[in-house]
Structure 1
Amino acid sequence: MFWTVVGWIVFGLVAGFIARAIVPGKDDIGILRTIILGVVGSVVGGLIFGLLTVGLRGFQPAGWIGSIIGAVIVLVVYNQVTGRKRNRA
């Protein structure tokens, strides 16, 4: 159980950092939010992958690529909702 939680934290941290590197601009969200971003992104990626392939089977995590794609989606939505990174014209 303990190592499962540690694994999710590390997985979320790596996926979150990669998503932050992919999305243009600077993100000042900190390590805790980066971990949450990666973990939520993994769930979102799992849902999207499930819908596109075998149908919805509930909340299940995705692999690395699905987690990163999900984390990018979550980060873009987060930036839109919080008003961060708005382009000034």
Structure 2
Amino acid sequence: MGLIWTIIIGFIVGLIARALTPGKDPGGFIVTTLIGIAGSLLATFLGRSLGWYQVGQSAGFFAALVGAIILLVLFRIVRRKTY
């Protein structure tokens, strides 16, 4: 159930990260959602390795949002250099 919760939070966080990050988004709705899910998963696994979360716990909303914003900015930088 923890993984499903992480994906749901990631979906919501991806949408919020897109709204909070200024600039044109090179990806669409689906790419932004996937980045939000990846940010949530990244925050969950990083938090577990640092001892912030126990096994079975997912990242908090704020940690997932920070992870998604970081990944979204990195994605924009990479996409900008390829064009």
Aligned length: 79
Whether the 8 Å contact between 2:36 and 2:64 is mirrored in structure 1 is yes
1:55-66 paired onto structure 2 within 5 Å = 61-66=58-63
Structural RMSD (CA): 3.2
Q: Counterpart in 1 of 2:73?
A: 76
Structure of greater relative contact order (alpha carbons < 8 Å, 6+ residues apart): 2
Q: Within 1, Cα distance between the matches of 2:79 and 2:45? A: 24
The share of aligned pairs that are identical, in percent, is 32
Whether the 8 Å contact between 2:32 and 2:72 is mirrored in structure 1 is no
For 1:52-85, what per-residue CA distance to the aligned partner results, in whole angstroms no more than 9, with x for missing partners? x527x89x7412111110000000110111117x
Change (3 A) 1:6 1:45: closer
Unaligned stretches of 5+ in structure 1?
85-89
The structure with the largest helix share of the pair is 2
1:1-89 paired onto structure 2 within 5 Å = 10-50=8-48, 53-54=50-51, 61-83=58-80
Q: CA deviation at 1:4?
A: 7.8
Q: Within 2, Cα distance between the matches of 1:34 and 1:66? A: 17
Unaligned stretches of 5+ in structure 2?
none
Consecutive aligned runs of 4 or more in structure 1 exceeding 2 Å deviation = 3-13, 46-51
Which one has the largest radius of gyration?
Answer: 1
TM-score (ref. length: structure 1): 0.65
